[in-house]
Amino acid sequence: MKKIKYKDLNARQQEIYNFQKVSAIFADFGYTTVKLSDDWMGADFIAINFDGTEHLKVQLKGRMTFEQKYLGKELYICFCDRSTNKWYLYPHDETLENFLGQIGETDSWKVKGGYNYRVLSKFAKEILEPYFLG
C-alpha cells in the first residue's frame, strides 16, 4: 500500500479523508462519530460521547470558517490547520463573537454571508487554543 498526498485529492476525497482523520481524534476523547448523508441543521456529522450523555453537531471545514447560515444552530466547526496539522473544534457562535470586530464589515461577511481564514493569525491561534484537539 502506498500513502496518498492530501493535496492530490479532489474536494470530495479530502472531505472523506478529513472525516476519517478527525473521527480517530474524537475516539481519543471518548466520542463516536456518525457521518450524515446530508447536512442536518448544518452538520456534516454528529459526535456522541461513549456514555450517550452528550452529542455535538459538527460542520467539517478545510479552514477556520464563520457562516451566517450557521448562526443559532448550536454548531461546532472542526478543521485542520494545514500549516501545523493541528485539529480544532470550536463553537461557531461563541467563537464568532471574538472575530466580528475584524470581519463584521467585510464584503465577504456582509454580502456573501461568510468569512474564512486561509492562514491563522496570532490572534486567531490564541482564541482557538482552548479548542485544540490534537
Query: What would the grid cell of residue 134 be?
Result: 490534537
Average pLDDT of 85-89? 95
87 contacts: CB under 8 Å, gap ≥ 6 = 21, 22, 25, 78, 79, 80, 81, 132, 133, 134
Structural domains in the chain plus CATH codes: 6-131 (3.40.1350)
pLDDT for the residue numbered 41: 82
pLDDT for the residue numbered 101: 92
Average pLDDT of 21-31? 97
Mean per-residue pLDDT of the chain: 94
66 contacts: CB under 8 Å, gap ≥ 6 = 77, 92, 95, 96, 99, 103, 109, 114, 115, 116
pLDDT digits (tens, 9 = 90+) for 50-86: 998 999 999 999 999 999 999 999 999 999 998 999 9
Contact 59, 78 (CB under 8 A): yes
